[in-house]
Amino acid sequence: GDIAQEVQVVIIGGGPGGYVAAIRAAQLGQEVVLIEKEELGGTCLHVGCIPSKALIHAANTATVITKAAELGLFTTAPELDMPKLQAWKHSLVHQLTDGVRTLLRQHGVSVVRGAAFFMSDDRIAVETKRGMEYYRFEQAVIATGSRPLALPGFPFDGEQILSSTDALRLTELPKELLVIGGGYIGLELGTAFAKLGSRVTLVEQSAGLLPGTDPTLVEIVKKKLQSFGVTLLTEAEARAHTIQNGRVHVTVCIGGQEQTVTADKVLVTVGRRPNTAALDLERAGLTVDEKGYLPTDGQGRTANRNIFAIGDITHGPMLAHKASKEGIIAAEAIAGLPSQKDMACLPTVIFTDPEIASAGLTEAEALAQGLDVTSGQFPFAINGRALIKDAGDGVCRVIAERESGVVLGVHLAGPEASTLIGEAALAIEMGATLEDLHLTVHPHPSLSEVLMEAAAVADGVAIHLL
């Protein structure tokens, strides 16, 4: 048979989970082989976080230009050159991919290009361009990520029925875009395309958008979406489609009534599924749950002590920073350190307009834990900096334990929420109180004042709000 190379640590998948685990394991003195079948950086860097935020940035810039006349700045209306936009996005992705490659090299990680699968509980095979390669490992980390879930009746064709991956690669702006699925990916991309000039209709099966997100925050985003012309169809089910003369006709069922919505392209964003089916996990003695996720313990260990799983293939939110944190913990556990996951204050961000961000407990979660809570809320509409930025829509809410004032959670919709949540996460991690937040002098005029003010409201000492 073929000779297997002996390695200490094998990592399957080079996304934000796998490459971070590889670097941390190498820092801790492990000999690491990282196997990636496509590109270093994974979904996040190539077809997820970075390209979507690049598109959103371009769309926001178009909006700024369009509104510049209000500021006394006269320009011509922006004209979109989509191939140029794609080239700019690509150069960003390329630069960041180079960075990941360099970091891995500097840490002495061997990168192997190929698709890996298990042969046994201590051996993997890798299908490379040169043929099969075999590795016997002491410990393995599986970080194979996730892929878009298809909707029955709407198989992806890459042309007119698009996944998020396809949508991010469009070189022509669709005149009319139908988005199926009102989760965060659908809303982020739908918003960006609408701002770039597509006529967007969004179909969501449930009664609200962004299921699982605080409805008062969602309401702020919903109003804004409608203000720039997005048509929202909720409690609406996309059932089937036909393609005629290059147009897609989609049958949508709303309250028992069928209607047809026509568009140039349909973007299906109805969820993602973990990439665990092609790994021959049963040969390593591992079984996935009914949705394909690998169960893990607090260090990321699977049922096999020597095999870890991290990122989108494990339970919890599918987020890049969650994958990276799990990667660090798995690498430390492999090196014998006592690191443990603590995701109680994992920040979640939705890059809609305005952004929604959240860390720690919601009021309902705190109450369910039997805690006595107090809360304070401050609107962006009376924050000077937000008004300067034409971004007064939104609110920041701070939740604390009444007696001690210890901050339990922060939830906001507003400009730069993704940045502001960093301070909130630090406060919660450090056990800060409402006083710590509002006694700390925050710079003026800045968006960060809303966090201070919301804490002051909760403590009854607000200056700018009754």
Residues contacting 392, CB < 8 A, separation 6+:
379, 380, 381, 383, 386
- Position 343 contacts ligand FAD (CB under 6 A): no
- DSSP secondary structure code for residue 154 in this structure: B
Decide: 350 and 186 in contact? Cβ < 8 Å: no
Candidates 312, 393, 416, 423; binder of ligand FAD (CB under 6 A) is 312
The strand ranges marked E within 94-235 are 110-113, 115-118, 123-128, 131-142, 146-148, 161-162, 176-180, 199-203, 231-233
Q: How many CA atoms lie within 13 A of 202 on its CB side?
A: 30
Tell me the two tokens of residue 377: 């809320």
Nearest CA-CA partner of 100 in 38, 159, 39:
39
Give the integer Cα–Cα distance in Å for 350 and 346. 13
Q: Binding residue per annotation — 204?
A: yes
Decide: 454 and 396 in contact? Cβ < 8 Å: yes
Candidates 42, 186, 347, 354; binder of ligand FAD (CB under 6 A) is 42
Residue 376 has phi, psi (to 5 degrees) of -140, 150
Please say which residue, 15 or 181, places its beta carbon nearer to ligand FAD. Answer: 15
Candidates 35, 56, 194, 329; binder of ligand FAD (CB under 6 A) is 35
CB of 321 to ligand FAD, least distance (A): 5
SS3 211: coil
Q: How many CA atoms lie within 13 A of 160 on its CB side?
A: 15
- Position 18 contacts ligand FAD (CB under 6 A): yes
- Position 52 contacts ligand FAD (CB under 6 A): yes
Please say which residue, 38 or 176, places its beta carbon nearer to ligand FAD. Answer: 38
CB of 311 to ligand FAD, least distance (A): 2
CB of 162 to ligand FAD, least distance (A): 11
Tell me the two tokens of residue 108: 């002495």
- Position 143 contacts ligand FAD (CB under 6 A): yes
CB of 19 to ligand FAD, least distance (A): 8
Give the integer Cα–Cα distance in Å for 288 and 411. 33
Q: What is the rounded (10 degree) CA torsion for 405, 411, 415, 421?
A: 70
CB of 50 to ligand FAD, least distance (A): 8
Residues contacting 324, CB < 8 A, separation 6+:
16, 17, 20
- Position 22 contacts ligand FAD (CB under 6 A): no
Q: How many CA atoms lie within 13 A of 41 on its CB side?
A: 21
Candidates 9, 10, 13, 267; binder of ligand FAD (CB under 6 A) is 13
- The single residue listed with the structure tokens 């991309």 is 189
Binding mask 344-383 for ligand FAD (x = CB under 6 A): -------x--------------------------------
Please say which residue, 126 or 434, places its beta carbon nearer to ligand FAD. Answer: 126
Considering only CA atoms, give the Rg of the chain.
Answer: 24
- Position 321 contacts ligand FAD (CB under 6 A): yes
Under rule CB under 6 A, how many of the chain's residues touch ligand FAD? 38
Tell me the two tokens of residue 192: 């960006």
* Annotated catalytic residue within 57, 107, 442, 444: 444
Active site residue 444: yes
- Position 38 contacts ligand FAD (CB under 6 A): yes
Binding mask 101-120 for ligand FAD (x = CB under 6 A): --------------xx----
Alpha helices (H) along 228-279:
none
Please say which residue, 43 or 302, places its beta carbon nearer to ligand FAD. Answer: 43
Residue 165 has phi, psi (to 5 degrees) of -60, -45
Q: Which stretch binds ligand FAD (CB under 6 A): 71-79, 237-245, 272-280, 336-344?
A: 272-280
CB of 316 to ligand FAD, least distance (A): 10
CB of 343 to ligand FAD, least distance (A): 13
Binding residues for NAD(+): 181-188, 204, 271
Catalytic residue numbers, as ranges: 444
Binding site membership for FAD: which residues? Answer: 53, 144-146, 312, 318-321
Which spans of this chain sit near ligand FAD (rule: CB under 6 A)?
A: 12-18, 35-38, 42-44, 47-49, 52-53, 115-116, 143-146, 164, 185, 275, 278-279, 311-312, 318-321, 323, 351
What residues form the annotated binding site?
A: 53, 144-146, 181-188, 204, 271, 312, 318-321
